Amino acid sequence: MIKHCLCTVLVLMYCVSYCDGQVFSFRNYETASTEPPLPFPACRADNIECLRRGLRTFFFLMDSRHLGMTPVDPLILNSVAVSVPEEQMSFLLRKVNVTGARWTKLIDRKFHVNNGKNSVRFKSDLHVIGEMIMTLAGRSDPFVSLITIDINDVESNITYAWTGQRGYDNEDYILIGQERVAVRNTRTPSFFLQPTFNETNTDTEGGTQDSYMMERILLSKSAILDHLANEVTVALMHTVVDNFRLFANQIAVKNYYIYNS
């Protein structure tokens, strides 16, 4: 009896450390064949409504780190930089926290564009917070401020090549090649600056001054914000495609596409 209990506990522990998907590989699915491997049905590749529903679930799977995927909402980026050499200015956005990715919408999906590549178009609304550092030529101290950026209706056009591969389990898997991400902002992002002063840094005057200067420059040169927003969106989409790649390596294609093999 005790032995039986111990055994159950061990199986449960195994399940806790493995079943949350951190180290899943397709071999685990073979042994657990009674469970459907995905919480969404397979779609015909041209059924856009079905793909849209699948994508929604897929974003939740990423955020739960299923199959070792990287969460994208929130997505934390170390830094994003933009420089304007002709104005001798540079901007560094640090400790970037991007939210909203999980509500990304699939606009369309095309096969055989540009020599047989695939293209996927997404639309997202993203909310970005971070610490902005602006450096101007001829001034040794950079300007620092907290910034909030709202990126609305940003479109990402992702193209990549793919090939099919028969796995050791005799199932078909998709290998996703290097992607190219093109981003188009349909609207100029809006922003809000907040001076960085706190308990340790009580220089409220300096903080307010920095935010004021930065605001003037960002308002007069909206291309800077556009650029930063594009860089953030591109970084996000590369992470999303890396997740697709990880997913497609581990889940047989029959589980998410209906196709004739």
Ligand X SMILES: *[C@@H]1O[C@H](CO)[C@@H](O)[C@H](O)[C@H]1NC(C)=O
**Binding residues vs ligand X (CB under 6 A):** 74, 76, 97, 99, 113-114, 119, 121, 144, 157, 159, 182, 196, 198, 200-201
- Closer of 180 and 254 to ligand X (Cβ): 180
Q: Which residues pair with 185 in a beta bridge?
A: 154
- DSSP, res 261: -
- Closer of 159 and 230 to ligand X (Cβ): 159
User: 146: how many CB neighbours lie within 10 A of its CB?
Assistant: 17
Distance CA 233, CA 26 (A): 31
Report the nearest approach of ligand X to the CB of residue 30 (Å): 37
- Is the Cβ–Cβ distance between 113 and 96 less than 8 Å? no
- Is the Cβ–Cβ distance between 218 and 135 less than 8 Å? no
Report the nearest approach of ligand X to the CB of residue 138 (Å): 22
Report the nearest approach of ligand X to the CB of residue 28 (Å): 30
- DSSP, res 187: S
Helix, strand counts (H, E) of the chain: 5, 9
| Assigned token pair, 90 | 């540079």
- Closer of 148 and 249 to ligand X (Cβ): 148
Distance CA 191, CA 78 (A): 19
| Assigned token pair, 36 | 């459907």
| Assigned token pair, 254 | 């029959």
Distance CA 132, CA 206 (A): 15
- Closer of 150 and 172 to ligand X (Cβ): 150
- Closer of 198 and 260 to ligand X (Cβ): 198
Distance CA 145, CA 212 (A): 9
- Tell me how many degrees the CA angle 232-235-239 measures, rounded to the nearest 5: 140
Report the nearest approach of ligand X to the CB of residue 34 (Å): 37
Report the nearest approach of ligand X to the CB of residue 62 (Å): 16
- Closer of 21 and 74 to ligand X (Cβ): 74
- Closer of 102 and 121 to ligand X (Cβ): 121
Report the nearest approach of ligand X to the CB of residue 117 (Å): 7
Report the nearest approach of ligand X to the CB of residue 179 (Å): 11
- DSSP, res 71: P
